[in-house]
A and B are shown apart, each in its own frame.
Chain A
Amino acid sequence: VAASAPTAGPGAAPVAHHFDNLRQQQATVRFGMWIFLITEVLFFGGALCAYTAYRIWFPREFEAGSAALNVGIATVNTFLLLTSSLTITLGIRACFVGDQAALRRWLLATIILGTAFLALKMREYHLDYQEGLIPNSQIVSAETRVRLAHSSAEERMNMIPFVENLKTILHEQEKYTGRNFEKEGVNFNRVQLFFMFYYSLTGLHVLHMIVGVGLLTWQFILASRGFFVYPDRYVYVEVMSLYWHFVDMVWIFLLPLLYLAGPHTGTQAIEQFLHALGFGH
C-alpha cells in the first residue's frame, strides 16, 4: 500500500518510493495476488486430488454421503456467492470511475452476501450436528433414538452411532430420491470418509470466506476514510476481488462434488431449505 499521504484532491495516486511509476506498482500488486492464488489452487487441489482417489475407490459410499447433505442450503448459498462476485466487480468499476459512495455501497452489499452465506453454512453445520453426521462421534440423533426404540439393548451394543444416524437420514430422503442405499449394499461405516472430505473442504472454504469478509470490511473502512479518493487505487479493490472470485470458484467445484454427487430432487431442496429456516416439520 502506498505510504505517502494524500496532499491535494484526486489526481495521480502517490507511488511508493521503490517503484518507478504507478503502472509498475499496480502490476506488482496484481502479480503478488496472482502468485498467492497459485499456491491456493494447489492447496485446495491437494484436498480435491485425495477426494478424487477415494471417490473412484468408493463411488457408492460417496453418493450415499452426498444424499444425506442439505442441498437446499447449498443451492441458495451458490446464488449468494455468485451475486457477491457481481457486486464486488461493480465495486471496482465504481472506484475506477471515482464514485466513492457507490464503491462503499457495493462493498457493503458484498459483505452482506458473504455474511449471509456464512450464516446459512453455520445453520447447516448445526443441522449436521443434530443429525449426528459427525465421523467417529458417539452422538445419536433424536430421530435415530425413535427409530431404534424397539431394538434390544444387545442389538444397540453392536451399532455404530454414525451408521445408524446416516441410515435414519437416508431413509427419510428415500421418499424424494427413491434410492435405497441399504439394498444397494453400501458400506455405511465407510461413508465417514466422505464426511471427512465434506467437513475439511467446506471448513477450509468457510475459513477463506471469513478472511474474505474481513478483507472486505477493511476495505469498507478504507473507503469510508477516503483512501479511494484516487481512482487509481481501484487496483486494491481489484486484487481483493481476485481472492473473492477464487473463493467463489472453489465453491463452484464443491457444489457438484459434495452436494450434487448423490441423488437429490428440487422438491427435496426446497423442503430442506424451509426446514433449515424453521418452517415445515
Chain B
Amino acid sequence: VADHAIKETIFEKDDHHAVAPAASYLTTFAVLVVLTVAQIGVGFSDLGPWKVVVALAIAVVQTGVLAYFFMDLRHADALTWLCAGAALFWLFILFTFTLTDYLTRHLLASPGPGALGGP
C-alpha cells in the first residue's frame, strides 16, 4: 500500500479533466500564427543590433506557447515539469560555461612581445 501511495504522488497527472474543445486548439494556433507573422515582420525590418534580441524574444514566447498548450504542460504532472525544467537548466549551463570561456579568452591573451617589460 505504501509503495502505491508513493507512486500516486509522483504520477499526479489527472486524466479526468474535461476534453478541451477543438476551438481551444485553434485559438492556440491563431496565437502562434500571429507570433510567426510578427517574427517574419521583424526579420524583414532593420532594427540594427536589436533585431536578434527581439527575434529571439518572439521565438522564446512561441516555444512557451507551444510547450504549455500543444505539449500539454498545463495538465502535466510534476515529473514532466521537472523534465522541462532540467532541459532548460542544462541548456543554461551549456551556454553559460561555454560562452564565458570563448567570449572572454581575448581578455587573457598575450599582448605580444615585450609584455613582461623586456629590455
Which A residues lie at the B interface, using CB under 8 A? Answer: 20, 23-24, 26-27, 30-31, 34-35, 37-38, 41-42, 45-46, 49, 52-53, 56, 71, 75, 78-79, 82-83, 85-86, 89-90, 93, 96-97, 238, 241-242, 245, 248-249, 252-253, 255-257, 259-261, 263-266, 269
Contact = CB atoms under 8 A, between A and B. Distances in A.
B3 to A, nearest CB: 9
B52 A256 contact: yes
A124 B63 CA distance: 25
A252 B32 CA distance: 10
Nearest to A23: B11
Nearest to B69: A89
Nearest to B14: A23
9 residue pairs, one from A and one from B, having the closest CB atoms? A260-B43, A256-B55, A34-B83, A27-B11, A41-B87, A86-B29, A38-B87, A53-B102, A45-B91
B63 A252 contact: yes
Interface residues of B, number: 51
B101 to A, nearest CB: 9
Nearest to B80: A34
Given A27-B77, A252-B62, A79 B13 contact: no
Contacts of B46: 263
B91 A89 contact: no
Contacts of A83: 29
B29 A82 contact: yes
Contacts of B102: 53
A256 B43 contact: yes
Interface string B66-100: 11001110000101100110111011001100110
B72 A20 contact: no
Contacts of A86: 25-26, 28-29, 70
Contacts of A56: 103
B44 interface: yes
Nearest to A262: B43
Interface in B2-26: 4, 7, 10-11, 13, 15, 19-20, 22, 25-26
B19 A82 contact: no
B22 A93 contact: yes
Contacts of A97: 19
B87 to A, nearest CB: 4
Most buried by B among A41, A56, A96: A41
26 contacts: A26-B13, A27-B11, A27-B79, A31-B83, A34-B83, A34-B84, A37-B87, A38-B87, A38-B90, A45-B94, A45-B95, A52-B95, A52-B99, A78-B36, A82-B29, A82-B36, A85-B70, A90-B25, A96-B19, A241-B71, A242-B71, A245-B66, A249-B63, A252-B62, A256-B56, A264-B43
A35 B83 CA distance: 6
Contacts of A27: 10-11, 13, 77, 79
Most buried by B among A24, A90, A252, A266: A252
A86 B70 CA distance: 8
